[in-house]
Structure 1
């Protein structure tokens, strides 16, 4: 059986796909991953022996240069991503049995069109529930297309969101479809999502609320096992003092708050704690040469978070889930996108606290840490850690292979 996995985005989009690819291969499938050509993604996929086909342009230059919320250059970027599905991904998927896609709408709408053209099974996957239509929440605003603030009917807002998606991407998609002999679609968003999208999140951290118009299949989060040892110097730092507070903004597509490294380190020191600072795409660094702080690059977060007193982060799905599995109390500083949702879930579960606003001060972050570092928060984080599922990739891989083996409609529609 041959499967193609298509994704486009930052680390939070690529890492789960890597986990699924590994499990599919272990179950006997041949797997190729179409992903952005960033060097770190290629290296990570090579580490787990997954074949990667570069697709689209590098992500890092885009997400570190685009102004949050701005629509400048969006049409050009969307056209590039969609064209890559019809060209590169279509060529890779030729002769395959299934195509699984995640990422922004131009990617998934293009991927489903490729699957339709080839007559193979298609699955849409989301690693957060925020973008899936639900009567229980407002849709996220699309770049340059704000939603009316006075509208309170969520269903009406999701209908408007579908119209906005058609305006932004409809002509682009249908032009590509016409070029390969496919008929036009009149609802880009719902076409891409299908009636039965997969939600790759943990049901405790991120429960999908029913009833809804979608038959959502929740598999659990796709977190690949990470057996990489921590760097020797980091282990030495961890072994020679009390558990540190981790600070990192990962490969978040939003800009990290200005001067956040200094603010975080000073707030951590105010509690008599040591710090581990992750450089990430925000290029964070130490503020002095004192021996109570350590800076890291790419490391095994699963191992590191188990040794952290708390984790201060941007509120991405991956970091939130990894910290929750490790039983580490969290302080979430959401910058945008789905990050406020995850910050709210941290608060709702009592496993940490969200920071009020995206730009902390020493005083505000110190106050948030005061909550996260209490024995009560640690106890709650430990309790929740025991409920987090660890079989998400196995559930998803087994479901996919079973569905292909049974046959039936080529797309989950």
Structure 2
């Protein structure tokens, strides 16, 4: 079986595909991944001997540039065009295509599968894109919902209208270029009849509405066997477990003195800190020996050896910290991150900060709660409930889809 995995987005959109690709290869499938041409994405795929087919511009460069919301339709058109070009070539001879990532990218990849007559599966790594009467949709930047509207069903209708306004023309122009008919509802086209939700059912329980048949597989995580750097090992061995601080693909934190605030808050608790540079480029605030800075690192191994994890609330980081039994402090920035922060707080495995810009005082208070013994006890208990077979289940489901 030949499988193409297609995405466009940040690390959180690519890393789950690494886990799935590894499982598919173990099953004897041939796998390719279409993703942004960022070096860290290519390295992760090279580690499992899966080729990266580059599509579009660097996701990191685009994120750091922070283009205005008004440019979203124009950027979407470029993303869709890039998908049609790269995915069409990569999908030649494939049996099934998995589409995920930002919505216009998934729409472009699914259009290629439709054109080529390839079976396809639409996947999301957070349920907030799936219509449900139990919660409102996320508003797109620059397109807020009317504050007087509180009925979730009405809000989901407005969400569909907003998506069509942002991406409809771009998608249908590109579809016409390859001889496909127009799509009336972009969101419904991407979600399809049976979308997959690749999240853990304990951390992210899906409440199934009657009109949407969602397959929840569990999170797709590749067991990471990379050793920790020798310098980090020495730092960990030199004292009590430190607090990890890292904000993943959130570059805006660089302008908010995030490292200064975080390290001071950690020190206020009498703890050392491991600081991840991330896309924000966090750096040491002084030359004291109680802070160690890391780049790309095995989070699965590291999170099991820290006192707490301070992070932005990305789906992948939240899941990894939860599986490791590490108490969390979530500083949500955008998109689905407030949702994951809320889940951490509701499960009792950490603290959700209110707002994207913490102060030393607010982060110190959150850390006091996260570092309390009772939080560690509950985080350890929840860790035993998290599924570890999500990628394996998804790989088997894909084999079934391809064999129909």
- TM-score surpassing 0.5? yes
- Partner residue in 1 for 2:60: 60
TM-score normalised per structure 1: 0.96
- Taking the TM superposition and a 5 Å limit, the aligned residue runs for 1:22-171 are 22-66=22-66, 70-171=68-169
C-alpha contact (below 8 Å) 2:327/2:370 kept by paired residues: yes
| Matches of 1:256 and 1:306, distance apart in 2 | 27
Of 357, 365, 372, the match for 1:359: 357
- Partner residue in 2 for 1:208: 206
| Alpha-carbon displacement from aligned partner over 1:335-368 (angstroms, at most 9, x marks no partner) | 0110000000000000000012111111110000
What runs of 5+ residues in structure 1 fail to find an aligned partner? 408-413
Offset at 1:255?
A: 4.0
Of 173, 176, 181, the match for 2:174: 176
SS in 1 for 2:320: helix
Q: Which moved more, 1:204-213 or 1:216-225?
A: 204-213
Alpha-carbon RMSD? 1.1
| Matches of 1:44 and 1:100, distance apart in 2 | 18
Q: Report the count of equivalent residues.
A: 404
SS in 1 for 2:244: strand
| Matches of 2:255 and 2:345, distance apart in 1 | 21
What runs of 5+ residues in structure 2 fail to find an aligned partner? none
C-alpha contact (below 8 Å) 1:197/1:216 kept by paired residues: yes
2:344 is the counterpart of 1:346: yes
Of 213, 222, 225, the match for 2:223: 225
Q: Which moved more, 1:133-142 or 1:332-341?
A: 133-142
C-alpha contact (below 8 Å) 1:38/1:59 kept by paired residues: yes
Q: Which runs of 4+ in 1 moved over 6 A?
A: none
- Partner residue in 2 for 1:293: 291
TM-score normalised per structure 2: 0.98
Inter-CA distance 282–225: structure 2 relative to 1 (3 Å threshold)? same
Q: Which moved more, 1:388-397 or 1:110-119?
A: 110-119
| Matches of 1:216 and 1:271, distance apart in 2 | 43
SS in 2 for 1:223: coil
Offset at 1:73?
A: 2.3
Inter-CA distance 307–174: structure 2 relative to 1 (3 Å threshold)? same
- Partner residue in 2 for 1:410: none
| Matches of 2:249 and 2:18, distance apart in 1 | 16
C-alpha contact (below 8 Å) 2:113/2:120 kept by paired residues: yes
